[in-house]
A and B are shown apart, each in its own frame.
Chain A
């Protein structure tokens, strides 16, 4: 491993100043990805600025109902937080579907967003990779592609983003708060990660030296329900082949049965008031399924519509040698998640 200088940040401003001034500087959070990359020779920062001592480890409810998650909150603490579990189950579920207990105890919120692809060619420094070494070529295109992208890929890169947490945050319309030498800015999570295009070496829109300080979650409507489902090669401790995060808000029709006279008529199908859907394991970034959402808004919450919406979204899928299975797998997972969420919400409304 290439030697490096280590600096423990004492406040945000000096951390940002130190990292910005050194083009070879990187931030150190839990280290579960960057330390591995330094061992493998994928990256070799000349300086690490350790931000784990900064006061960014709180989960705070803001006066307007939003929730602010500090950048150094550990994945295990975020997953177990009572507010997250109650209000944003999709996020808790996504976090618990990722990595292992001992890794989640180390990994941070900001670091999770910045983790890099697990594409085997990216991680193997003996093979060409445009993401690791721009212009060297993409080994995956003609290689083993079971784990690669079906949406939004380019001729230069077919890698997928590995995070579960970020997929849930994409569905929650989370906002990433970053700070740099030119001040603070807020980036919607769906715009935070990039598609590869001609610059696959750039995973996100962050400038050098910019530091994630928090992720903010907007309040959800009281009746919205959310969940995360991950499909993988093992039951645990594996990256997603496909994952689906969904936030669904239904309008349950009024029961028209006359009270006391006859048994109540079963209500008709619920209508989809709002839907937010994101896919993991299929693209270079958490993939917000906007076309499926558009198709579903205002429609009846029935399986046929879920299927048609998924097909609409996957219409633009481009498959490689080993990953065509991800198209039906994505469709079926979307349908299953929406069917379960609908059943759960309808069941709850009938009990009111």
Chain B
């Protein structure tokens, strides 16, 4: 059985006819030529295929394309352009957060989604008291970063620098949020994503 599937990928509308058994990952890579999300394990265990699906991080290897008709997808490639990198991408460069680079697009999408989740106050397994009693919000300690990124494996073992990169990006985001708080009309200048940011149209 075949079906026509239309997606909004990195700000562009893309359509293809696929078999129902085609995963979102295979549609992106094989039919649409979007090679930023990577096929690692193809079983939802490694996180290399992570994208932002309607604004939330998700593995694409365990999703059937036909079930996501009309979805908005942002890959690491669609987060920004060369010369104007997303703060998380820049942080991975600054901190040497990769070696072979195969897991990196998934790591970056996962980190962007994770920073939004934390900014929205979503607790993790290691958040003290489930974040209930702390009105100041989630503090992204290294333990928080490691726990929240545990779905992205790096077989080169670049974890130490990945944590450093996300620590840098989280710091920039917190500073940006503070700046936004004091100058509410100038949030764009802060250049950092806030909870629920829609990345689908970022690429112009």
Q: Which residues of A contact B (CB under 8 A)?
A: 1-6, 8, 28, 31-32, 35-36, 38-40, 48, 50, 52, 76, 79-80, 85-86, 89, 92-93, 96-97, 99-103, 105-106, 235-237
Residue from the list A2, A40, A93, A102 in contact with B59, Cβ < 8 A: A102
CB distance from B77 to the nearest CB of A (A): 18
14 contacts between A and B (CB under 8 A): A6-B66, A32-B62, A35-B64, A76-B56, A80-B122, A80-B123, A93-B125, A96-B123, A100-B150, A101-B117, A102-B57, A102-B58, A102-B113, A105-B57
* A4 pairs with B44, CB closer than 8 A: no
CB distance from A238 to the nearest CB of B (A): 9
* A105 pairs with B56, CB closer than 8 A: yes
CB distance from A71 to the nearest CB of B (A): 16
Per-residue interface assignment for chain B, residues 53 to 80, with 1 indicating a CB less than 8 Å from any chain A CB and 0 otherwise: 1001111001110110000000000000
> Which stretch from B18-26, B83-91, B97-105 is at the chain A interface?
B18-26
Listed residue (B53, B149, B150) with the most chain A CB atoms within 10 angstroms of its CB: B150
By a CB distance below 8 angstroms, the chain A residues around B125 are 93, 96-97, 236
State whether the Cβ of B96 lies closer than 8 Å to any Cβ in chain A: no
Instruction: Give Cα A31–Cα B122 distance, bound, in whole angstroms.
Output: 23
By a CB distance below 8 angstroms, the chain B residues around A99 are 151
State whether the Cβ of B82 lies closer than 8 Å to any Cβ in chain A: no
Instruction: Give Cα A113–Cα B121 distance, bound, in whole angstroms.
Output: 26
Instruction: Give Cα A86–Cα B133 distance, bound, in whole angstroms.
Output: 9
Instruction: Give Cα A167–Cα B95 distance, bound, in whole angstroms.
Output: 41
State whether the Cβ of B146 lies closer than 8 Å to any Cβ in chain A: yes
Closest to A53 in B: B67
The answer to whether residues A101 and B148 also contact, given A3-B20, A35-B64, A106-B62 and a CB cut-off of 8 A, is yes
Is chain A's interface secondary structure helix, strand, loop, or mixed overall? mixed
By a CB distance below 8 angstroms, the chain B residues around A8 are 67
* A5 pairs with B43, CB closer than 8 A: no
State whether the Cβ of B130 lies closer than 8 Å to any Cβ in chain A: yes
State whether the Cβ of B50 lies closer than 8 Å to any Cβ in chain A: yes
CB distance from A146 to the nearest CB of B (A): 18
CB distance from A77 to the nearest CB of B (A): 9
Instruction: Give Cα A93–Cα B47 distance, bound, in whole angstroms.
Output: 22
Residue from the list B47, B67, B149 in contact with A31, Cβ < 8 A: B67
* B1 pairs with A4, CB closer than 8 A: yes
Residue from the list B20, B47, B57 in contact with A5, Cβ < 8 A: B20
* B1 pairs with A3, CB closer than 8 A: yes
Per-residue interface assignment for chain B, residues 138 to 172, with 1 indicating a CB less than 8 Å from any chain A CB and 0 otherwise: 00000000111111100000000000000000000
The answer to whether residues A103 and B59 also contact, given A4-B20, A89-B132, A92-B123 and a CB cut-off of 8 A, is yes
CB distance from B145 to the nearest CB of A (A): 11
The answer to whether residues A6 and B124 also contact, given A39-B42, A93-B130, A101-B151 and a CB cut-off of 8 A, is no
Per-residue interface assignment for chain B, residues 32 to 50, with 1 indicating a CB less than 8 Å from any chain A CB and 0 otherwise: 0000000000111001001
Instruction: Give Cα A225–Cα B164 distance, bound, in whole angstroms.
Output: 37
Closest to A74 in B: B56
CB distance from A184 to the nearest CB of B (A): 26
* B44 pairs with A6, CB closer than 8 A: no
* B20 pairs with A31, CB closer than 8 A: no
By a CB distance below 8 angstroms, the chain A residues around B63 are 31, 35, 106
Instruction: Give Cα A2–Cα B21 distance, bound, in whole angstroms.
Output: 8
Residue from the list B3, B114, B131, B148 in contact with A6, Cβ < 8 A: B3
CB distance from A208 to the nearest CB of B (A): 21
* B122 pairs with A6, CB closer than 8 A: no
Residue from the list A39, A85, A105, A237 in contact with B132, Cβ < 8 A: A85
State whether the Cβ of B110 lies closer than 8 Å to any Cβ in chain A: yes
* B67 pairs with A100, CB closer than 8 A: no
CB distance from A225 to the nearest CB of B (A): 12
* B67 pairs with A6, CB closer than 8 A: yes
CB distance from A76 to the nearest CB of B (A): 7
